[in-house]
Amino acid sequence: MNMNFRIPVSRLAAYTLGLLLAAAQAQAANNEEELPVVLVIATGGTIAGVQEDPDDAERYRAGTLSADQITASVPALSEHAVIEAEQFSNIPSPQIMPSDWLRLSRLVTERLQTRDDIAGIVITHGTDRMEETAFFLHLTVDSDKPVALVGAQHPATHRSPDGPANLLAAVRTVASPEALDRGVMLVMDERILSAREVRKDYPRVGGFARGQIGVVGHDGPEFLYRPSRPHTHRSEFKLTDNTTLADVDMLITYSGGMGPRYDTLPAGIVLATTGSTCEESLALQVIARKGVPIVAAFPTGQSVRRLRPIEESAPEWVREPCARLADDPRWEGRWIFPLPARLLTPQKARILLMLALSQSNSRDELEEIFQRY
C-alpha cells in the first residue's frame, strides 16, 4: 500500500522559519559571547543635541538625548561590541568643572579595574572642552585599557549628523586589542588622536588636529604611533577620594597690559604669552616672590624655551626696554622667570600644574614634571 504524507505548505513554512530563527538566535548568542564589551559613558554636548528648529542647525540644545538614546541611534555598534550605556551628566562641555573631571576619572578607573569583561570605555562629550577633559583623564585614569572621547560638530537632529559615524569609529577603536596602553584618545572624523597633543582648531567637521596616532578605516582601527610620555597607569597622579585640585588661574598677556591684581592669590598661574609688557613683568614678579609658581605657555602650544630660574636682580636685557620704570621698587630682590610649559597649550599646562601641585611646590620638581609629561 502506497501512503503519501503531505504537510500543509503553511505549516512547513512556519516550521522552516522557526528553525531559521532559532539558528539565527543561536548564532547571535555565539557572536555576542565573542564580542568585547564597551561601556559608553555620556556627559552631554552637541553629540546629544537636538535642534529647536529643524531648519536652523545653529540653534540646538546640547545635552538633550540620553546615553541609551545615543547608542540606540547607531545600530551598527552591536556588530562590533556588546554595548552598555551609563549617564554621567547631560550638559554642554563649558559647564564641566574640575570637580567633574575628578568624579569622571574615578568612575572610569573603577569601571575598568572592577569589570574584567569591559574592553574599553567611550565617553561622549561636547567638543568645546573635550581636549581638556581628555588630557586630565590621560594623566589620571589608572588602567591600561583604552579610553576614547568622542563628540560631534553637528547635533543629532542635523540633516547630516557626524556623531553616529564618530561614535561607531570610537567603539571600534576601544574594542580593538591594539588600543591597549595608548593612553586616552579622541576619535573624530576617522582619526585617532592622542589626548596630550590634540587641539580643536576650529568648530567644524575635521576641526580637531594634532597628535594623530592612527586612523579608522573600513577594516577598523589602524595604529601608527604610541605615546612616549607617561600616561594613565604609568602616571604618578593617582586619585583618591580625598584628592583635591589646586586653584590655578590662567592669564593672557597683551599689548598695554598692566599685569594681574589679586585679592587672594591662587596656588599657581599659567601665563599664555608671546611676551610681557614691563608692567606685566613687574606685577608677576611680586606674585612669584610670594611663592606662587608661574608657568609660561605659548598660546598655540609651541615650545617655550627653558628660562634661567632665578637672577639676583632683573637682568639688563629685561630692564633696558623698561627705562621709564627703572626706579620702580619692584625690580629689587630676586628675579624669578616663569617655568616653561614645553609643548603644552595653556589649558593643558593648567591641568598639569593643578595635578603637579598636589605632589610638590618645589620649583625644580615642578620643572621636572613639566619636562617629563
The catalytic site residues sit at: 46
33 grid coordinates: 559571547
Gap between the Cα atoms of 230 and 342, Å rounded: 15
Gap between the Cα atoms of 289 and 248, Å rounded: 17
Gap between the Cα atoms of 41 and 57, Å rounded: 25
Read off the DSSP letter of residue 331: G
Number of CB atoms found within 10 A of residue 170's CB: 31
Gap between the Cα atoms of 337 and 276, Å rounded: 12
CB 186 within 8 A of CB 208: yes
Gap between the Cα atoms of 345 and 337, Å rounded: 19
270 grid coordinates: 599659567
Of how many residues is the chain composed? 373
Among residues 62, 132, 64, which one has the least CA distance to residue 101?
132
Residue reference for cell 586630565: 136
Gap between the Cα atoms of 56 and 179, Å rounded: 38
CB 225 within 8 A of CB 214: yes
CB 76 within 8 A of CB 56: no
3-state secondary structure of 353: helix
CB 156 within 8 A of CB 65: yes
Residue 206: what residue type? G
Residue reference for cell 531648519: 55
Number of CB atoms found within 10 A of residue 318's CB: 17
Number of CB atoms found within 10 A of residue 77's CB: 23
CB 210 within 8 A of CB 235: no
